[in-house]
Amino acid sequence: MTGLNGTGAHTAGADKVRTGKPDPAIDRIDVAVYTVPTDAPEADGTIAWTSTTMVLVQAVSGGTAGLGWTYGAPATREVVGGELAPLLLGRSALDVPAANEAMHRSVRNAGAPGLVAGAVSAVDIALWDLKARLLGLPLVRLLGAAREQVAVYGSGGFTSYDDSMMDRQLRGWADGQGIPRVKIKVGESWGGCERRDLDRIRRAREAVGPDCELYVDANGGYTGKQAVRVAAAFADQDVRWFEEPVSSDDLPGLRAVREAVLPDVAAGEYGYDLPYLTRMAAAGAVDCLQADATRCGGITVWLRAAAVAEGLGLQLSGHCAPHVHAHAAAAAPAFRHLEWFHDHVRIENLFFDGTLDPRGGVLTPGADGRPGHGLSLVEERAVAYRVA
């Protein structure tokens, strides 16, 4: 679209030259907000919550709609409806990177990171789904597959759970579904409960047995030296992944912990743009870069983050929202795994038909041949949770 005149503006004429007929246009952007109570109080090292909010976008062209979403503040809806939608109406539904760039440029003065980036991300995801549906292709086929299967790890193990609840959840993944990787939260109360953290890691190892990979996530709850000390204390539990041992804002701190501990250090879930993720990866701060397509700018930017990670010899892991990431993950050579996050799996299974099956620890996106990401919203199940 931009190649013929270099302006990046609407170029319906150019579309005609290229394809012989005008591109399908973006006719409508709808947005709705749903707040779903958790099935039990949830907490990690540095925050607690009892509900999760999904901001759901539908991008419509003719009789076809694409679905995208982000998990975040209800105010995200105002950004989608007020700032982004007017910009997109009438644009080609096929040139998603052009739409993404236009959205990103337009929010300069509103402040691009944070919930604004969540809004851009949700729309971008909806546009990729829309394009794949317009072309009748599973999204992974539109993007081009690098692999057939996508590994997942079970993620939950909240610090608010009692021992039996955590056991049940972890065994459900490891034994019930055969997922050979699980993650629990540590760093409880900003690192104030080290003994309980260590006890829970031991219990988690007992629950899943010796052959399951065990991961921990401190959500930035420890200090640097504390993280190294805690890692030494859990060294006999064969923990493979230590996520956000210190704040992800502290790149030298992450790097220092990374150099001092055996598990892979991972971070990146608060990356709202490509430069953030690039800086983190280039700083030597992580063994595995995490990126969240519902925050970093959608599938468009997530795939670029995968290229950045690959270029620096790192792997990329998808943070949360597993059904947003599955198809893109299959298209990224540097991809390691997706987070099968309890909270989001629950909501995505509740709201959508066509969700993926994680048995054996892998998803096979596109296997059913459905176009797009293969999901359809089941309004009658979602409506009870709609708040705006």
Q: Is 264 in the site for Mg ion (CB under 5 A)?
A: no
The CB density around residue 50, as the number of other CB atoms within 10 Å, is 11
The distance of closest approach from Cβ of residue 244 to Mg ion in the complex, given in angstroms and rounded to an integer, is 6
Query: Smallest distance, Å, CB 267 to Mg ion?
Result: 8
- The interface mask with Mg ion, positions 201-240, x = CB under 5 A, is ----------------x-----------------------
- Taking the least distance from each CB to Mg ion, the nearer of 335 and 341 is 341
**CB of residue 269 to Mg ion, shortest distance in Å:** 5
Residue among 15 and 269 whose Cβ is closer to Mg ion: 269
Structure tokens at 168: 């049940």
| Dihedral over Cα of 114, 323, 54, 136: its sign | positive
Which region, left, alpha or beta, applies to residue 187 given φ > 0 means left and ψ of -120 to 50 means alpha?
Answer: left
Residue pair 106/83 in contact by the 8 Å Cβ criterion = yes
Say if CB 285 and CB 254 are below 8 A apart: yes
Sign of CA dihedral 275, 278, 282, 283: positive
Nearer Cβ to Mg ion (129/243): 243
| CA–CA gap between residue 335 and residue 198 (Å, rounded) | 30
**How far, in Å, are 77, 85, 161, 220 from residue 50 at the CA level?**
21, 31, 13, 20
Pairing of strands 150-155, 362-363: antiparallel
Binding positions for Mg ion, 85-104, rule CB under 5 A: none
Spatial separation of the C-alpha atoms in residues 132 and 142, rounded to whole Å:
6
Question: Tokens 């979403």 — which residue?
Answer: 69
Kindly state the smallest distance separating residue 169's Cβ from Mg ion, in Å: 16
Binding mask 165-204 for Mg ion (x = CB under 5 A): ----------------------------------------
Give the span between the Cα atoms of 46 and 344, in whole angstroms: 19
Taking the least distance from each CB to Mg ion, the nearer of 31 and 267 is 267
Minimum separation from the CB atom of position 149 to Mg ion (A): 23
Q: How far is the CB of 298 from Mg ion (least distance, A)?
A: 20
Exposed/middle/buried for residue 144 (C-beta within 10 Å: 0-12, 13-18, 19+) = exposed
Element (H, E) at 388: none
Q: Smallest distance, Å, CB 358 to Mg ion?
A: 18
CB burial string 262-282: b at 16+ within 10 A, e below: ebbbbbbbbbbbbebbbebbe
Output the smallest distance, CB 38 to Mg ion, in A: 16
Q: CB under 5 A: which stretch of 156-164, 241-249, 302-310, 342-350 binds Mg ion?
A: 241-249
Q: Which is nearer to Mg ion, 47 or 283 (CB)?
A: 47
Distance, CA of 32 to CA of 90 (rounded, Å): 21
Nearer CB in complex with Mg ion: 220/361: 220
Residue nearest to Mg ion (CB): 217
| Cβ-based nearer residue to Mg ion, 242 or 352 | 242
Q: How far is the CB of 339 from Mg ion (least distance, A)?
A: 8
Contacts with Mg ion by CB under 5 A: the residue count is: 2
Nearest to Mg ion of 11, 53 (CB atom) = 53
Nearer to Mg ion, 97 or 190 (CB): 190
Give the 3-state secondary structure of residue 309.
helix
Closest CA relative to residue 205, chosen from 190, 176, 184, 227: 184
Q: Report the residue number, 157 or 180, with the smaller CB distance to Mg ion.
A: 157
Closest distance of CB 338 from Mg ion, Å: 13
Binding site for Mg ion (CB under 5 A): 217, 243
